[in-house]
Amino acid sequence: MRKILPPTYFFACLIISVVLHYTLYSIEIIHYPFNLTGFLFFVLGTGLNIWPDQQLKKEKTTVKPFEKPSALIQTGAYKISRNPMYLGMSLLLMGAGFILGSIASFVGTIIFIASMEIIFIPEEERNMKMQFGEEFETYKKRVRRWL
């Protein structure tokens, strides 16, 4: 069975945010020019997707959350967050929320983070523990899940 991967959740949540913003009566909480700070979130979020992806490729380990990892990366982006790519996607969604500026436009961000916490992170962490044991436990104590 082919499993749905996090980028699909990301795009679905982005669509949810945009659709809710334009279809629901929603209170605008971020006004121009402050909404333009969303572009900063885009830059940070993009970086936090590209940088760790390059690290994974360099170490020749999987980016897919349900596959067995072959390396425990603890440097670069993985020194700041155990899940930098999920953090990056969350920042991209937050950037969209800031640019749109309504309360409803942040719903997708909340759904995405909850989905990662419930669906992906627990299984990934089980796989990492099985594969790397105490080394992963030590890493978990040193580096936070998100930030």
| Residue extents of the structural domains in the chain | 6-24+32-142
pTM of the prediction? 0.95
- Render pLDDT for 46-104 as a digit per residue (tens, 0 to 9): 999 999 999 999 999 999 999 999 999 999 999 999 999 999 999 999 999 999 999 99
SS (H, E, C) the chain: CCCCCHHHHHHHHHHHHHHHHHHCCCCECCCCCHHHHHHHHHHHHHHHHHHHHHHHHHCCCCCCCCCCCCCCCCCHHHHCCCCHHHHHHHHHHHHHHHHHCECHHHHHHHHHHHHHHHHHHHHHHHHHHHHHCHHHHHHHHHCCCCC
The rounded percent of the chain whose pLDDT value lies above 70 is 99
